[in-house]
Structure 1
Amino acid sequence: ITERKNVLMGFFFLLTLLAWTAYVDERSNRPWRFYGLALILYVLALSAKTTACTLPAALLLILWLQKKPINKRRLSQVVPFLIMGIGMGLLAVWWERYHQGTRGMLFALGPIERLLIASRAVWFYLSKLIWPSNLTFIYPKWNISPAHPLDYAWLLAGIALCAVIHFVRRYVGRSVEVAAAFFVATLSPVLGFIMLYTFRYTFVADHYQYLACIGPIALASAGVVSLADVFKQSRPLVLSAALCVVAVLAVLTWRQAAMYTHIEALWRTTLARNPGCWMAHNNLGIVLFQKGDTDEAVAHYRTTLEMQPDFWDAEYNLGIALLSKGQVDEAIAHCSNAVRIAPNDPDALVALGNALLQKGRIDDAIIYYQKALAMRPDYFLAHHSLGHAFLKKGDLDAAISHCRAALLIQPQNADTHTNLAIALDEKGQTAEAIQHYEKALEISPRSVSALANLAWLMATCSNASFRNGSKAIELAGQANQLSTGTNTLVLRTLAAAYAESGQFGKAIEIARAAMQLAQTQSDNSLSAALQQEIALYELSLPYRETPK
């Protein structure tokens, strides 16, 4: 879960500080080389993650710690870092506000509330650093109110600590205040003054203090070394105690890492430690649905909505899960709720479109897919779904256009290749259709749709140059095996393949089995088609599609 961007940002952040330290060191030869290097490294840190925007404060703290003058010359040297930091910081604020949705009543916190959240968060992070117990991926969200006197305790404690640090400065020098200032300044972007999407469900997260904790840890490490120097006779004891602390922390880290072994373990552990975390219920539901545990996924989505009724992600996730179970009407209801709450969310729009398409409301589905594309023009799912909808509607040109657009975004999607191949075949562009079927099978060799459709083409195409009975039997046989002999369309295809190869007895046997299955499913149109094809096979004639 320690994302690469956090590691890269921390790496380049520290290298920038190292280069700056070398630059301000009066013993350095050609110090401007280190200044240029620091600028380059800072650009890399900001490119990894914009929370590196606090680095200019660290540069000034280094000067302050080393008792170097902070004059106009030094300030002018910090200005380029400051400009880049502010610029990237404002970009991050804009992104959170207009792309992550940190607007509205949910994020409408007043300045006093933000100050109270920030003061409590600082103490929270410090306490977890000193005593790392009860750690979890998502912590319970605090209820902060300016009307509650106890909520001011953290702020008053912070003011008192500042007073203590100022008092002890004459005895310990500037190290304590620099460590404290670095800790708070580096945390500042995530303390609540700037709204983050995560504040929807929690105000704190362990990974927010990865960089900030360097200040207190460096102070503690320096304190251990100083203690060992003062008590030289007890130096082995002091260093051994420090080593024991490190060993204990290493064991605790190893134990904590168990919850990150896989994504399901992460969300189950989070719920065990924070049962009221509705976001974890939703995310666990997504994992379970992807695993095929649809019933349990539905239960977690429903729990999410009980805890957070206006969370539209859970609404359309529940709709998608219900749709997979065949509960189309309820799926439409939940997806409609999601669109009502978040009318500009492309994911919700596509989910509703999918439910309407399964209901047979093709034109309504197309409207929602098009709305999703208006919100996000490069949205793969919207293009893919539009291609499928237009294919069902019979608008082959539109289907081909959207399938091609989808493949420009995700060229390795087997289903889109299959849909495009079907549309091209219907359009009479058989050679290109075969290429896309083969590409789909190269990507997904177990795709029943691609196997069956390509087998049907090779068994029944009106153009003899594209027919290949033995290959059609092979493909249809694989599709039948994968569908465990229960798919009527696959059985029909397999019968046609045997007929193309001249094995009419086998074709009749399989076609009759398919017709019987179609009748049990009340699919009268397919049953009638199979009856006509059986009549051809009894005359030792293979089935042929009409020329396109």
Structure 2
Amino acid sequence: MPDKNIQKSTFLNVRLDFLVCMFLVVAVLVAYWQIPSCGFVGFDDKPYVTENRQVQKGFTVEGLAWAFTTFHAANWHPLTWLSHMLDFQLYGLNPLGHHWTNLQLHIANTLLLFFILLQMTGMLWRSAFVAALFALHPLHVESVAWVAERKDVLSTFFGLLAIIAYYLYVRHKGLIYYLLVFLFLSLGLMAKPMLVTWPFLLLLLDFWPLNRLHFSRSGTRQVESITGFDSKIFFKLILEKIPLFIPVIFASIITFMAQQSRGAVDSLTSLPLDIRINNALVSWVSYVIKAVWPAHLTVFYPHPGNMLPIWQGVGAALLIAGSICAAVRLSRQYPYVIVGLFWYLGTLVPVIGLVQVGKQAMADRYTYIPLTGLFIVVAWGFSDLLLKWRYRKIFLAVLAAIILSALTVRTFLQVGYWQNAVTLFENAIKVTPDDPSAQNNLGAALYDDGRFDEAMVYFKKAILIAPEYTEVLSNLGAAYYKQGNYDKAVLYFEKALKNQKKDANAYDKLGVVLVAQGKVEEATAYFIKAIQINPEYANAHSNLANVLSRQGKYEEAELHYLEAIKLDTEHTDANYNLGSLLLRQKRYKEALIHLVETIRISPDNAEAYHKIGVVLAQQGKLQGARKFLKMAIQIDPNNIQVRKDLEVLNRKILPEIELQ
């Protein structure tokens, strides 16, 4: 390994490596300047943060156990869940704090990558350029600007720490360093199983830049350690990685179980192996094209299925094979080429689509780790290619400045699309206008904003593209319900259920529409069906309790309210309606608990303040009752019943208070 004295070079008495670190931090902050104004986006931010009640409890013993045992969101990544819990503990649902954590991790990853390359190679400027490309490339925006992609930046952080520990292990041969490699790799896998290729990556680093494996003079491959071990060291290099496969295999198995349990893994029947291989080959090449020319980026690239021409896969295979052959031929003189190429190809394997999870053909976030391999080839390759040119340094400096400036601008613009779900999917429609999921997701974003008429436009566009799209049919039903068109709502919910008979959400929403039509008994059956499909569906339990209460089945209603609250402690409707039910039964102490909980969750709930006032009046606590009734009037000045109750209370004629 080379001497690292170069890092001690100074400029104006300041070490250059320190100046590089300062530049990298400032560059990231400039490129991601719009991050503070970004909110949560619908998509995966809901199950990960905004609608995840376990995360919103913060750090608890129950939450810790949940993080390590749940397959929520079709993943097993306990460390990621814990990081989201910590963010909620610190920032609540303020998106700024959650985005800031992602950005801090991205900055840390950038600095760690620079440190690793500098320590291993001694090449200051090449290492700096690779780190800058990593920091500023637009393909990495998705991993940083999307709160739900915390797993990307967090797993990479621990993965890079594992590489540092491995470097120290190679230099000092201490067991403690190897244990640190094992620890950091395990932590990284608990953040995201993307690191399953890490043992192979460490083997690549053995070849270059650690130089534990190289060519002999005769040109035959020979293994030799930096301390002069014989050729048997090659097998030792493999054997020393064996323990690292323990967490890798564990993470692989449990991740597959998690994804299969939630139906996230496509079967070979629905997506045959030949189609997967064809798409994988094309994706490997497509990522390179996007890395060189990062235009038309979007959050979702729909899988082409059997529509992808076979010649594209064959062409991609030939390009990849040719690149590998060239890298092998160059490996003796330029070992970084084969290392960088296999870094890129190898670390993409878990997400390239051979095991298809989701409906995407590819995703920008999948390049967060792999592109580093290509960056290394570019940084070292250009420098060596122009090694004998007298103007090399000036040319490379100018070229680097142009490239990094262009990437900074492009990243700045890309971050802007992540302001909210509407801006995100408006861009998606521009990039993939024929993708029904883009139309549907924009409609869903508008629906969440209360813009039901606009949402309807995009839902209808999605249906024109894909008439049997179950999620859109369900969303259309919900939109028609909001517009008061109950017959159309029922029609589309029934269509959705015809396509997907195990859609608990559609059963629940159809039940809500039937209640609005006065068909309470029919609605009851649909709520029960929703619960049978998904026993942990809090809304369905709450809605079932509502209709049971209307039918006078108070004991059953109470049980389902309690179950809804158990599943979702922040469920406003369940707490309020249970409090109201208990109030009607004159169980004042119990009613008060749930009504107070209601205003904690929803401080603007005037009816909850009203009923707390009624309970306190019944308990003879007149001052407290007046206080809560006045607060109810402040929130809802037009509530005639509250004003009447307050007048009665002021006259101290308590029996006349009407219990609504």
Query: What is the TM-score of this pair, normalised by structure 2?
Result: 0.68
Structure 1 residues 334 and 37: CA distance shift in structure 2, 3 A: same
Give SS of 2:481's match.
Answer: helix
The one of 531, 534, 538 equivalent to 1:380 is: 538
Structure 2 letter corresponding to 1:50: P
1:154 paired residue number: 316
1:402 paired residue number: 560
1:16 paired residue number: 162
**1:178 and 2:339 aligned:** yes
**1:31 and 2:174 aligned:** yes
Structure 1 residue 492 displacement after superposition: 4.1
Structure 1 residues 35 and 471: CA distance shift in structure 2, 3 A: closer
The aligned runs of 1:4-403 (5 Å cut-off) are: 4-25=150-171, 28=172, 30-65=173-208, 66-68=211-213, 69=223, 71-103=234-266, 108-142=270-304, 144=306, 148-170=310-332, 172-197=333-358, 200=359, 202-227=360-385, 229-231=387-389, 234-403=392-561
1:519 paired residue number: none
Structure 1 residues 379 and 149: CA distance shift in structure 2, 3 A: same
Conserved? CA contact 1:271–1:280, under 8 Å: yes
Structure 1 residues 450 and 222: CA distance shift in structure 2, 3 A: same
Q: Which moved more, 1:254-263 or 1:227-236?
A: 227-236
- Residues in 2 aligned to 1:541 and 1:49: alpha-carbon distance in whole angstroms: 61
Ranked by relative contact order (alpha carbons within 8 Å, sequence separation 6 or more), the top structure is: 2
Structure 1 residues 292 and 434: CA distance shift in structure 2, 3 A: same
Conserved? CA contact 2:336–2:380, under 8 Å: no
Structure 1 residue 75 displacement after superposition: 2.4
**1:491 and 2:640 aligned:** yes
Structure 2 letter corresponding to 1:366: T
Conserved? CA contact 2:446–2:455, under 8 Å: yes
Structure 1 residues 145 and 80: CA distance shift in structure 2, 3 A: farther
Give SS of 1:394's match.
Answer: coil
- Stretches of structure 2 that go unaligned for 5 or more consecutive residues are 1-141, 144-148, 214-222, 224-232
Structure 1 residue 442 displacement after superposition: 3.3
- Residues in 2 aligned to 1:234 and 1:163: alpha-carbon distance in whole angstroms: 28
Q: Which moved more, 1:44-53 or 1:404-413?
A: 404-413
After superposition, give the CA deviation of every residue in 1:179-213 in whole Å (9 maximum; x if it has no partner). 1111111111222211111xx2x301111111100
After superposition, give the CA deviation of every residue in 1:366-405 in whole Å (9 maximum; x if it has no partner). 3333333334333322232223222222222222222222
Structure 1 residues 145 and 288: CA distance shift in structure 2, 3 A: closer
The one of 439, 458, 477 equivalent to 2:633 is: 477
Structure 1 letter corresponding to 2:151: K
Conserved? CA contact 2:613–2:626, under 8 Å: no
- Residues in 1 aligned to 2:518 and 2:327: alpha-carbon distance in whole angstroms: 70
Q: Which moved more, 1:150-159 or 1:125-134?
A: 150-159
Structure 1 residues 93 and 291: CA distance shift in structure 2, 3 A: same
Conserved? CA contact 1:353–1:364, under 8 Å: yes
Structure 1 residue 471 displacement after superposition: 4.7
Structure 1 residue 144 displacement after superposition: 4.0
- Residues in 2 aligned to 1:449 and 1:343: alpha-carbon distance in whole angstroms: 37
Conserved? CA contact 1:316–1:338, under 8 Å: yes
- Residues in 1 aligned to 2:249 and 2:472: alpha-carbon distance in whole angstroms: 35
Structure 2 letter corresponding to 1:477: I
- Residues in 2 aligned to 1:24 and 1:250: alpha-carbon distance in whole angstroms: 36
Conserved? CA contact 1:414–1:443, under 8 Å: yes
- Residues in 2 aligned to 1:328 and 1:457: alpha-carbon distance in whole angstroms: 36
Conserved? CA contact 1:373–1:382, under 8 Å: yes
Structure 1 residues 221 and 541: CA distance shift in structure 2, 3 A: closer
1:426 paired residue number: 584
After superposition, give the CA deviation of every residue in 1:2-26 in whole Å (9 maximum; x if it has no partner). 221110111111221222233233x
Conserved? CA contact 2:622–2:649, under 8 Å: no
Q: Percentage identity across aligned positions?
A: 24
Query: What is the TM-score of this pair, normalised by structure 1?
Result: 0.82
Structure 1 residues 451 and 289: CA distance shift in structure 2, 3 A: farther
Q: Which moved more, 1:298-307 or 1:134-143?
A: 134-143
Structure 2 letter corresponding to 1:61: L
- Residues in 2 aligned to 1:363 and 1:545: alpha-carbon distance in whole angstroms: 29
Structure whose alpha-carbon radius of gyration is higher: 1
Q: Which moved more, 1:444-453 or 1:179-188?
A: 444-453
Q: Which moved more, 1:222-231 or 1:9-18?
A: 222-231
Give SS of 2:361's match.
Answer: coil
- Residues in 1 aligned to 2:415 and 2:267: alpha-carbon distance in whole angstroms: 36
- Residues in 2 aligned to 1:421 and 1:140: alpha-carbon distance in whole angstroms: 47
Structure 1 residue 544 displacement after superposition: 5.2
- Residues in 1 aligned to 2:508 and 2:239: alpha-carbon distance in whole angstroms: 52
Conserved? CA contact 1:227–1:238, under 8 Å: no
Kindly report the root-mean-square deviation, in angstroms, between the aligned alpha carbons of the 2 structures.
Answer: 3.0
Conserved? CA contact 1:186–1:212, under 8 Å: yes
After superposition, give the CA deviation of every residue in 1:201-260 in whole Å (9 maximum; x if it has no partner). x30111111110010112212224435654455323322322332222112211221111
After superposition, give the CA deviation of every residue in 1:495-546 in whole Å (9 maximum; x if it has no partner). 354345449xxxxxxxxxxxxxxxxxxxxxxxxxxxxxxxxxxxx9974559
Conserved? CA contact 1:284–1:300, under 8 Å: yes
- Residues in 2 aligned to 1:216 and 1:440: alpha-carbon distance in whole angstroms: 54
- Residues in 2 aligned to 1:541 and 1:13: alpha-carbon distance in whole angstroms: 67
After superposition, give the CA deviation of every residue in 1:427-452 in whole Å (9 maximum; x if it has no partner). 22023213322332233232243245
Q: Which moved more, 1:445-454 or 1:239-248?
A: 445-454
The one of 550, 569, 575 equivalent to 1:411 is: 569
Structure 1 residues 334 and 405: CA distance shift in structure 2, 3 A: same
- Residues in 2 aligned to 1:339 and 1:144: alpha-carbon distance in whole angstroms: 27
Give SS of 1:203's match.
Answer: strand
